[in-house]
């Protein structure tokens, strides 16, 4: 039984010192669900984002086939935030990736969700009927 005490202590320390959003990574949802290129995507978390210590949590919107360490724009998520705004510059299929443990670890992916960014709306040639 004595031999287990150091093992339990070691496992407890590694759990507390490990990286990650405290309490696990929150799930993400986007609004609008299909944004247009040039608009921003509001990312809503199902729980407040809580980082550990001095670590930062951040998101990036990247092509789904890109490597885990690929970053276009890094948007920092404030501690305790339930949403963050991410620009969607181009149309296509993207992946919103949630990272934590920065700067201790430059890329520690803890969550992802797919985002379809549609082509920008086309301006009408004539004003709407209510204009006249």
What is the helix (H) or strand (E) element at residue 6, kind and residue range? helix 4-17
* Token digits of residue 19: 């990286």
**Which helix (H) or strand (E) element contains residue 93?**
strand 92-102
Entry pTM: 0.70
Q: Which SS3 state, helix, strand or coil, does residue 5 take?
A: helix
Domains of the chain with CATH codes: 16-120 (2.60.40.1930)
The tens place of each residue's pLDDT in the chain, 132 residues long, gives 445 443 333 333 323 333 346 556 788 998 888 899 999 999 999 999 888 777 889 999 999 999 888 888 889 999 999 999 999 989 999 999 999 887 777 778 889 999 999 998 766 566 666 766
98 token code pair: 């949630």
């Amino acid at each position: 039984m004595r031999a287990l005490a150091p093992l339990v202590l070691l496992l407890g320390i590694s759990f507390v010192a490990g990286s990650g959003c405290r309490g696990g990574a929150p799930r993400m949802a986007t609004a609008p669900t299909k944004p247009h290129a040039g608009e921003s995507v509001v990312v809503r978390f199902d729980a407040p984002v809580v980082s550990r210590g001095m670590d930062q949590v951040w998101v990036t919107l990247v092509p789904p086939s890109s490597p885990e360490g690929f970053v276009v724009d890094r948007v920092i998520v404030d501690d305790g935030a339930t949403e963050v705004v991410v620009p969607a510059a181009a149309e296509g299929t993207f992946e919103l990736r949630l990272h934590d443990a920065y700067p201790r670890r430059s890329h520690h992916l803890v969550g992802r969700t797919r985002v379809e960014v549609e082509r920008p709306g086309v301006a009408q040639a004539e004003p709407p009927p209510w204009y006249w």
